[in-house]
Amino acid sequence: MEAKIAALEKRLIELEVRNKATPLTEAALALNEVAEKKKADEATGDDSKEEKKDEHEPVSRVKVVITRRDPETGEPIEKEKKVEKSKDEEFDREKFAFILRKNIYENKFSPYQTPNGSEIDIVSENLWNLLKKYLGHFPYHMFREDPVTLSSPYDHIVYEYDDLLAEAEKAEEDEENMQARKDLKLLLDTIRTSSGDEKLDKYFKMRPNYKKQTPNTIQFEDLWTVFPPGMLGEDQVFVVKDNQMFWPWRDPSMRESLPWKLDAWSYDWKDGTFSRTLFTLEFQQFDGHLPLTSLPFYPFDLCKEQEKIREELIKRGQKFREICNARNDSRLFDYKGLSILETKGFSGMKQDQEAGISYRPTGRTQN
């Protein structure tokens, strides 16, 4: 009974306050109710608004996966998945043009520094077809068939970077081709700015400096970028086969890098026939930037008198073929220059320290 009386008194007091309230007090109460309602709506509607926002936000066409590995075992230490503007750990591959995997090696317990690297899986078929158009001629024909995993430093793309960039910037009305070119531009920008390969990222930072000089310059670390397979090289013309390694190797105990080696081939006379012969071209370590034409071997396209050199080399090759194919009864030729003296019998035997090259201003040599 007392509780009912107390509740009735409270209700009477509220009615009295309301009857005596000023318009300002009523307005304040109304605004307070609106504010509370708005706050409640925001609290209940955050999730739905966030979902709508995510639906309208564009999703990046590249997925980045970061993997930390033990350099000794190759096993992942910690795996982190990250997609720009995407929060789902599970993803639909078809939404992406390509997937970039960055491999980070923990070297705390390793005496040698294992360089970080990366891999790219091309998902978009149209993007892969665009790459095949420009990269299908490279050795091993990896761009002739279905997509394969590409590994840093992405040498094929580096060699053809300028042509690929020009292709990516072409105007295209067809929607599929236009998307493929956008994906190609994204791929090139990703490799240029954030490839996951520290040396490759450093090269692309220096690349504008190399290109702005005439002739172009290069540093020892980046020599491999100058010699794509199939290129003609000076001073004696060789066809580039491949490089033995990309970046020059440096032993931690050595002050200087080992020579960088390039495999090239030319035609030579061997075992009675002409055949392709492999040569290994060595580049000694050098400091700073050097013009390409100052290297012991450089691209034939940089020669100032290409046609003249080409004609001289053709004549020399024809003469060489004539000498090699000469019959036994006509293999005596006039010769001028350095020669190795060979004698037969006991009278011709010498100690190693006595043997050497003898110079004859004129003489005759037999093939």
Tens-digit pLDDT string for the chain (367 aa): 666 666 666 665 665 545 554 444 554 445 555 556 666 566 555 555 445 444 444 578 999 988 876 666 666 665 544 434 334 445 677 789 999 999 887 766 556 677 889 999 999 999 999 999 999 888 777 888 889 899 999 999 999 999 999 999 987 767 778 999 999 999 999 999 999 999 999 999 999 999 998 889 999 999 999 999 888 776 567 787 777 677 676 666 666 678 889 888 888 888 888 888 888 889 999 999 999 999 999 998 888 888 998 899 889 889 888 888 887 777 777 777 777 666 655 444 444 444 443 333 443 334 3
Residues 6+ apart with CB under 8 A from 275: 267, 268
CA 64 to mean position of chain CA atoms: 16
Q: What single letter denotes the amino acid at residue 160?
A: E
d(CA 66, CA 105): 11
Nearest 5°: the CA angle 160, 210, 304 is: 80
Residues 6+ apart with CB under 8 A from 316: none
Whether the CB-CB separation of 243 and 261 falls below 8 Å is answered with yes
